[in-house]
Structure 1
Amino acid sequence: MSEEVITYDNFTSDPFKDFEPDDETKGAYHVLKWAYDTYGNDIVYSCSFGAESMVLIDLIYKVKPNAQIVFLDTDLHFQETYDLIDRVQEKYPELRIKMKKTELTLEQQSEEYGAALWKKDPNQCCYIRKIKPLEEELSGAVAWISGLRRAQSPTRANTDFVNKDERFKSIKVCPLIYWEEDEVWDYIKSRDLPYNKLHDHHYPSIGCIPCTSQVFNSDDPRAGRWSNFGKTECGLHTTKP
């Protein structure tokens, strides 16, 4: 791999394209160690506190205990999600968890865009409450970490360890690309890691309350998100700016 620090402006390809991980973390620890050695405090983990997040937090804490973690607090999350964040902070006390909110309160959003925007235009709601806040958070960061896995959906199938992020004009590091869902849960359970208890009640993927539903007859890990909208992504991981 090149010794030159990879940035959005000089990115050509994933420096790990020929890397064949054979460790128990399927390359995740190695990639995280490289990421923090390379970017130091200029890399941010945008954390959803889903199942993959629990794996990444545990691995990140081994590499950089005082890592910066950002949670996009839409003011619409389940109480179970907020409770989980408290448990994570207790287990990993050195982590710097930042609750990032949008400038618009829910009341102001209703006044400007109408009540329950997520029912009429979920893309706009996601932009206001997720994408714009992350744009602000990444404005000074060279790179960010995401828990994307290739097996999660067709839109994520070609994700590499290190990616040029057109959306945020930065480098996106995805250490878990080769993990399967059962491997994520084996890691969580074998180490008794905290996780969102809604996963035990038929919620495979957990986001905001209005746009997350229980799933009973699907193996799709993204099922239950934005039901009836033909939408599977909030927009954080798409290429369109």
Structure 2
Amino acid sequence: MRSDWVPLSASALVIGAMALVFGSLLNPADAGASSAETLRVVNEDSARWVAMSVMFVLASLGLTLGLPSVLILFQRRARKLGLTALAVFTIGTIGTAGYAMLMVFFRAIVVAGALRAGALEEVTHEPGLTVFLNGWIVGFYGGIALLAVALYVARSVPRWVPALLALFVALLPFSTHLGRVGSAIQVMALAVAFTGMAMAAVTGEHQRELSDAPAF
């Protein structure tokens, strides 16, 4: 990557992380809410639901465009592990846009009165939808877990960056019990970690490594 593109990519990474934070905070439904409660919330606050979906699309675009800047952090160590982590995480970032579109479609059929609570419970267990959602979750969280390990091995960022990434993944089993405040803390930890990665990518040391690399 040309060195003049690194700040732009790093900026996109930060924008994507913040959009993910805003999207999570805009979510009107509590984690672990029942099907009936979710339908009620979407009906009463559909505009907020759409805004959340827009933020998730922006997060998908920003994070995907920001991933090239993360490659700079693996110039010396853990290059293969870093590439693997980014490849897996790309599935998660792109899948976030698909999830946002699914949320928009879900809101449309709820507002139109075409979905009941019982039917929603059955839909969430449909094999095709389950495979898609689980694949997105595995790609997103698995990519972050691999990225935390790769950054720890590469030693190209402060130690608190992979620690925050690991914290984000470790809180996944407790996501339905964290509440709004806990969920906000979880996603903020991820945003701060991505900001730290973006700052490290644009430091003079990494820029010099790019400048000294042969042009292709």
Indicate the TM-score class for this superposition, using the shorter chain for normalisation.
under 0.3
- Higher RCO (Cα < 8 Å, 6 or more apart): 2
Q: Indicate the structure with greater helix content.
A: 2
Q: TM-score, normalised by structure 2?
A: 0.27
Name which one, 1 or 2, has greater alpha-carbon Rg. 2
